[in-house]
Amino acid sequence: MNTYIGSRAGQRRGFALVELLIVVIMLGVPAAIVIPQFSTSNEDARRQAFVSQMRSYVTAAEYYRFKTGQYLADSGSGECPAGWEGYIDVDRWTAGTPIGGVWDVEQDSYGIRSGFGVHFWGNNGTQDDAYMQKIDAVFDNGDLCTGQFRKIAGDRFYYVLADN
C-alpha cells in the first residue's frame, strides 16, 4: 500500500490563486469589450421600437380622421384619447413608450392643431434633443424644428397631424 501522506502530489486539488486571477482576466477583457456593444444594440432596438409604434399610431390616427372626420381629442399624458380605443392597443399606449416618457395627444395647443407623441415628465425617464434627433432622422427629416415629427415644447416630441 502506497500512501503519500504529506506529499504535494497527493494534496493538489484545486487551482492556485494566480491561476484563478489569470482566468478572470482572460474572461474579463473580452467581456469589457462586448458589453458596451450590447448596450448600444439595446438602445438601437428601443429607438426602432419607438419608430415602429409611432408609425402604427400615425396610420391609426389618419384612419380615425378618415372615418370620423375629426382629429384625435386632447388627452392627458399617458391616457388614451376618447374614441381611439377601437383603433389602437390601449394597453400598449398607456404603458408608455419604449424610450421612456408617455404617449400623449395635443389638440389646439403648443402651436399645432393636432398631434401626438412622447411627453417626458415625472419619473418615466427622459431623452435629450440629440437622442430624439436620431429618431427624427429615421422617422422624418432629421430636424426637430421642421417636418412632421418635431419638438413642440421642452419635454414633448410629437408627430404633427395638422398645424394651426
Within the chain, which residues score under 50 in pLDDT?
Answer: none
Q: How many CB atoms lie within 10 A of CB 117?
A: 23
Q: Which residues pair with 105 in a beta bridge?
A: 116
**Quick one: pLDDT at residue 19?**
79
DSSP secondary structure, 68-94, as one string: HSSPPPP--TTSPPTT-TTTS-HHHHH
Residue 103 carries which DSSP code? E
**Quick one: pLDDT at residue 156?**
95
Helix (H, G, I), strand (E, B) or coil at 54: helix
Q: What CA–CA distance (Å, rounded) separates 126 from 119?
A: 9
**Quick one: pLDDT at residue 17?**
77
Q: How many CB atoms lie within 10 A of CB 14?
A: 8
**Quick one: pLDDT at residue 22?**
81
Amino acid at 65: R
